[in-house]
Every structure is written in structure tokens, then in C-alpha cells.
Amino acid sequence: MTDASSPSLEQRLAAGRFVLTAEVVPPISCSAADLLAKASPLKGIADAVNVTDGAGARAHMSAIAAAAILKQAGIEPILQLTCRDRNRIGLQGDLMGAAALGIRNLLILTGDKPEVGDQPDAKAVFDLDSKTLSQTAHLIGSMGQLPTGTKVAGAVPFLIGTADMPIDPKPDWQPTGLKGKIDAGARFAQTQFCMDAGVLRRYLARLTEAGILPGLAMLIGVNPLRSAKSANWMRQHLFGTIIPDAMDE
């Protein structure tokens, strides 16, 4: 089990400490050992490990099951929960199930569209958007009730996170989307990759001007570059297709 003597992710963020997280894509496998082979090297290095939910619109081991396996192995998980695959009933059930398993850290995401994956004919749900799902998680965890008003027993607050993407803000740009996520319950943000320190400084300065910082914990995404070929691929396929208006979806 997780070492109770170690500060949790929530405690580290509340104390303003530097936090390092990593990400694991659950394997296409029915074996817990296959998951642990990927995640165990991160134990004692990362403060918490993100567990993706159907990354790339492809089927993988259940994110909730994977998060529970990591927690049992002493690795604090951040459960990524997407809106793509389940309607509100299923998502509400998953939130209660995650809480019952002791999983408190959430990263709420819209989710990749099925057409980018290997089963493009799959039907997307998107019954809720990420803001509404964040509101639902806050309502269940902190208020002990479903959106219908039905009481939820044994509720414990979630630590809710949202995705964000640093940009070089134009003079009239305002972080409206990010403010909405904070109002919905987000307490930390994990960003897409940002390798430009100048862009990051200007972006964070604008968030400070808007009153978002220092209240929201920001975890900046970086990616170790394995080669020049890898860097060129990222530039052509990731940074060349970014849409600023969708930066915190």
C-alpha cells in the first residue's frame, strides 16, 4: 500500500512544493504484472503517476483498475477520466467506484475523438463536457450528492485537475476556459508540452494578472527528447496543429 508517512500529492501542492508527475498508458493486457513493469520504475521518483483513459482513442486496460493496481503497489495515481466513452450515469458510477478504491486524484478530460484511433467507427458519447464532469466530481466528493440530488454515502473530496496549454497570449486574450474549470472545482492543472521558457513566463504572467495564480497549482508538461527525429515529429504533428481556443479542453 501507499506509504502513509509520505506527503500526498494534495499535501505537496497545498504546501507549494515542487511536484514531479509522470504518465503511464495502461497496457493492452489483462495482466497486472504488465502494468507494473511499466510503472514500477517511477516509484520513488514521481510524486504521482497519471493513468490514461483510452489514450489515443484506443482500448487499453481500464484506467480505474490500473489506478487501483498502482495504489496497491505504493504508487500514487492520478486517474484520467474522459467524457468520450460513458454517459453521465456511467461516469457518476466510475467516480463513486474510484472513491471506494481510495483514488482521490482526478484529471478530467474531454477525450480524443474515436476517428483518431484504431476503431474509427466507434460511437463517441460526450454526454458531458469536461467542465460539467468536473462539477459532477466536486458535487459527489465535496457535497455528497449526485446532480439529481440523490445523497451519496461515504463521500470524500476529490483533488480535481484539468488540462491546459501554455500559449503566447495576445494582448486581448483572457483565460476564460481555465477560469470556468476552476469554478467547476479544478485545483490543479497539468499542461501540454511547453519547451519554450519565454512563452511559459508570459503565459504565467497573464494568468497571474487574471487572478488565477497563485491559487491554481500548475504542473508544466515537458517531454524528454529521445532524438532529433523525435523532436521534428513533435514539431510537425503536435505543435503545428494546436488550436489556442481549445487549449484547456
Which conformational region is residue 25 in: left (phi greater than 0), alpha (psi within -120 to 50 degrees), or beta?
A: beta
Number of domains in the chain: 1
CATH number of the domain where residue 142 is located = 3.20.20.220
Q: What is the pLDDT of residue 246?
A: 38
Task: Please indicate, yes or no, if residue 4 is contained in any of the structural domains.
Answer: no
Q: Tell me: cis bond preceding 214? Omega within 30 of 0 counts.
A: yes
Helix or strand or coil: residue 91?
helix
Q: What is the pLDDT of residue 220?
A: 97
Helix or strand or coil: residue 117?
coil
Its pTM surpasses 0.95:
no
Task: Please indicate, yes or no, if residue 3 is contained in any of the structural domains.
Answer: no
Task: Note whether 127 and 94 are within 8 A (CB).
Answer: no
Task: Please indicate, yes or no, if residue 21 is contained in any of the structural domains.
Answer: yes
Mean pLDDT of 52-63: 96
Containing domain of residue 154, as a range?
9-246
Banded model confidence at residue 203, pLDDT cuts 50, 70, 90: very high
C-alpha cell at position 79: 486517474
Q: What is the pLDDT of residue 240?
A: 55
Can you tell me which residue has the cell 521518483? Answer: 45
Sheet architecture: strand order including 188-193: 21-24, 48-51, 77-82, 105-109, 159-164, 188-193, 217-221
Task: Please indicate, yes or no, if residue 93 is contained in any of the structural domains.
Answer: yes
Beta bridge pairs of residue 23: 50
pLDDT exceeds cutoff 80 at 208 = yes
Can you tell me which residue has the cell 524528454? Answer: 224
Q: What is the pLDDT of residues 87-105, one digit of tens each?
A: 999 999 999 999 999 999 9
Task: Please indicate, yes or no, if residue 159 is contained in any of the structural domains.
Answer: yes
Q: What is the pLDDT of residues 16-28, one digit of tens each?
A: 999 999 999 999 9
Q: What is the pLDDT of residues 131-188, one digit of tens each?
A: 999 999 999 999 999 999 999 999 999 999 999 999 999 999 999 999 999 999 999 9
Task: Please indicate, yes or no, if residue 1 is contained in any of the structural domains.
Answer: no
